[in-house]
Structure 1
């Protein structure tokens, strides 16, 4: 998320907040987020990618691929390491030597999952660091991923 310089977002960490971690499929999470947007404050525009972002005095100017222009106070980017929001507004340049790549898959009808819904993460070192994880989902499904450093 990137907020223009003239937006004040007072965020405070709650004291004694219980820790909550939930696992879910990415497309289910995206669907949930889109459906939680208030129509009073948001506009949904699907199928028209972002061409450019520019921070101005009164907000963030978003230029879409069809040259539509939108002025916004807040922009949320969820498009990965090469995010246009991160590159244009955060001036972030990904370090390819510190990047990783992975493959992920979902499996159905998995038996003997932990009753407390715990995930499992393993990190193996054999010249390059690897990671492997299993996250339980609903209905006896799991997300399994294997990845490692790209260098």
Structure 2
């Protein structure tokens, strides 16, 4: 089974567990979401699903995304003043850089940053339970 097929199955099962009927439109949305390697907004997911199966409503997209988030199979990211973006929960922990000019979201992972965060929490008498680390960036001139 391919990665996309596994994702689609996981998303489909999550909606079924939530008692949501899998219509042609929802199946198209789940397929589009399973294929997404970026961090699409709901409007973009709607546009992609509409291209596959015309007639999907934006409210169906929003309701489906809410249920998928409630089921823990997608994450909602709200980056500083921008519409919510979504990604799969199956990825290993990573942080994000958001280009303030283009809106591009770049994932990165750094053991040094993770260790420093844990060290700071420990020095202040805490342990990290959950965190998100976001950098808002702009390309340097000439790059």
Highest RCO, 1 vs 2 (Cα 8 Å, sep ≥ 6): 1
TM-score (norm 1): 0.28
Of Structure 1 and Structure 2, which has the larger fraction of its residues in helix? 2
Larger Rg: 1
TM-score (norm 2): 0.29
